[in-house]
């Protein structure tokens, strides 16, 4: 049985489980949402939701220098325990995220990190664009919000399509890691250096 992205998203929202876990659970449950939720809970994969209030004070600093040594990234990926921070899977994800930052040059980790003045400016520009296209005032706001979502997808690391598999987002990749390790995982911060770029 095939399942669509909306079903997978709904199950992810309910359980906090990773993209691939949700997709497999839905396939196994023949699309039955409650059965899929129950299956994930039995496997303990709804752990992400339970971990939401936990602190992530351990982790690793990953470094990535792109071929040619013109772009470099430092990325701070956090988890709850030193045990998980030392695992190969955790470190591999941290390295993948460093590559993502090098290639896609996001400005912020998440939409919540975008400064209010940047959002205000972006909304103003997008509104003017929509009005210049002759769109009626009553749909301009919806257009602005839709285009703002695109802005987040381009500029916020967790909303970007994942470099190694663009059928999922970076956020999905993090949630898959949460499912695998059973701990809260957070991208704390990153810095990207590029030769020829000023501060």
What pLDDT does 5 receive? Answer: 78
In whole numbers, what is the pLDDT of the chain averaged over residues? 85
Residues of the chain below pLDDT 50: none
How do the domains of the chain map onto residue ranges? 5-50, 58-110+156-194, 115-154
Q: Which region holds residue 137: left if phi is over 0, alpha if psi is between -120 and 50, else beta? A: alpha
Q: What is the pLDDT of residue 20?
A: 75
Domain 115-154 has CATH 3.10.620: no
Residue partners of 148: CB distance under 8 A and separation at least 6? 119, 122, 123, 126
pLDDT of residue 65: 93
Indicate the fold that domain 5-50 takes in CATH: Helicase, Ruva Protein; domain 3 (1.10.8)
CATH class of 58-110+156-194: alpha beta
Per-residue model confidence (pLDDT) at position 199: 58
Which pTM was predicted? 0.70
Strand blocks (E) in 49-105: 58-65, 71-79
């Amino acid at each position: 049985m095939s399942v669509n992205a909306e079903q997978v998203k709904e199950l992810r929202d309910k359980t906090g489980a990773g993209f691939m876990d949700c997709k497999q659970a839905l396939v196994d449950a023949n699309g039955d949402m409650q059965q899929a939720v129950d299956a994930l809970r039995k496997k303990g994969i709804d752990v992400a939701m339970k971990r939401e209030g936990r602190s992530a004070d351990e982790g690793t600093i990953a470094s990535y220098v792109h071929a040619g040594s013109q772009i470099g990234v430092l990325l701070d990926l956090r988890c709850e325990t030193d045990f998980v921070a030392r695992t190969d899977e955790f470190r591999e994800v941290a390295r993948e995220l460093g590559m993502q930052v090098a290639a896609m040059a996001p400005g912020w980790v998440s939409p919540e990190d975008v400064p209010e003045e940047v959002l205000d400016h972006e909304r103003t520009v997008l509104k003017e664009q929509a009005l210049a296209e002759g769109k009626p005032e009553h749909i301009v706001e919806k257009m602005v919000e839709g285009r703002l979502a695109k802005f987040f997808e381009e500029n916020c690391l967790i909303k970007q399509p994942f470099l190694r598999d663009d059928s999922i987002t970076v956020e999905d990749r993090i949630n898959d890691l949460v499912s695998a390790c059973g701990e809260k995982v957070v991208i704390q911060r990153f810095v990207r250096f590029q030769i020829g770029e000023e501060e």
